[in-house]
Amino acid sequence: MKNSLRLHKLAACIGVAAVLAGCASMEGKGGDTAMGSGIGAAIGAGLGVLIGDSTEGALIGAGIGAVAGGIVGYNWSAIKNDVEKSGASDLGVAVTEMPDGTLRVHIPSNVSFDSGQYQLKPALLPVLDSVARALIQHPELRAKAIGYTDNTGSLQLNQTLSLERAQAVTGYMANQGVPASHMTDEGRGPNNPIASNDTQEGRSLNRRVELFLYAVKQP
């Protein structure tokens, strides 16, 4: 029953996206950004249903999709290269251009925080310095940090800890000169695991911060 409901919701979202795509083609160039946001929101909502399996999940997905839908072809090459050269590759910090137009900096727990803590490890700081430079040099960019935990401990504790980890990242970059208004943070606790919480290795992978960069206008 639950899977069937999820599929129905996703089908509805895709249908809305198709309608919006048709409208965009009729609106012309002037309406591309607005229509792009609508299409992104609809597709994002579909992904949110699959990920979150709830209305809340759909809203989370729609929020990300709406942001991404307003982006038009940002060139991440120089920024991606600079972040990787800052030590990201050596630390296992993956820098990936996402299909929605964002740049994701995936920060694993072994280089970011000790278990149960939210103080940044010194080895990660050069990577965050590089991201901060990009945000300062390119005022059209914004950042969103999303913190995650494993499922050990209470849900309330993990929710608080995940937010504190995201805030530690944005707070450090704010201290480097990035305008606080250009960054947001969110804690999602043990939601959206990328590995099994049944093993120590899997729990370690789930403890992470995902930092997304996106543009609000063309440079």
Task: Determine the Cα–Cα distance for residues 83 and 206; give it in Å rounded to an integer.
Answer: 22
pLDDT of residue 118: 92
64 and 84 both lie in a single domain: no
Average pLDDT of the segment spanning 71-82 = 85
Whether the pLDDT of residue 64 is over 70: the answer is no
Percent of the chain topping pLDDT 70: 67
Residues recorded for the chain: 219
16 and 47 both lie in a single domain: yes
20 and 117 both lie in a single domain: no
58 and 124 both lie in a single domain: no
Could you read off the pLDDT of 25-47 as tens digits, one per residue? 344 433 333 334 344 444 444 44
pLDDT of residue 217: 82
pLDDT of residue 216: 86
Q: Out of 13, 48, 69, pick the residue that ends a domain.
A: 69
62 and 84 both lie in a single domain: no
Please state the domain count of the chain.
2
Could you read off the pLDDT of 119-171 as tens digits, one per residue? 999 999 999 999 999 999 999 999 999 999 999 999 999 999 999 999 999 99
**CATH assignment at residue 111:** 3.30.1330.60
CB 118 within 8 A of CB 164: yes
Q: What is the 3-state secondary structure (H, E, C) of the chain?
A: CHHHHHHHHHHHHHHHHHHHHHHHHHHCHHHHHHHHHHHHHHHHHHHHHHHHCCHHHHHHHHHHHHHHHCCCCCCCHHHHHHHHHHHHHHHCCEEEECCCCCEEEEEEHHHHCCCCCCCCCHHHHHHHHHHHHHHHHCCCEEEEEEEECCCCCCHHHHHHHHHHHHHHHHHHHHHCCCCHHHEEEEECCCCCCCCCCCCHHHHHHHCEEEEEEEECCCC
24 and 130 both lie in a single domain: no
Task: Determine the Cα–Cα distance for residues 110 and 121; give it in Å rounded to an integer.
Answer: 9
**What domain range is 17 assigned to?**
2-69
Task: Determine the Cα–Cα distance for residues 54 and 177; give it in Å rounded to an integer.
Answer: 38
107 and 186 both lie in a single domain: yes
When pLDDT is cut at 50, 70 and 90, the band that residue 61 belongs to is: very low
pLDDT of residue 115: 81
Could you read off the pLDDT of 92-106 as tens digits, one per residue? 999 999 988 899 999
91 and 173 both lie in a single domain: yes
Q: Out of 18, 42, 69, pick the residue that ends a domain.
A: 69
Could you read off the pLDDT of 11-28 as tens digits, one per residue? 444 444 444 444 433 444
Task: Determine the Cα–Cα distance for residues 218 and 141; give it in Å rounded to an integer.
Answer: 9
Dihedrals φ, ψ of 101, to 5°?
A: 100, 0
Q: Out of 22, 38, 69, pick the residue that ends a domain.
A: 69
pLDDT of residue 67: 52
Strands 141-148 and 183-187: parallel
Burial label for 92, CB within 10 Å (0-12, 13-18, 19+), is exposed
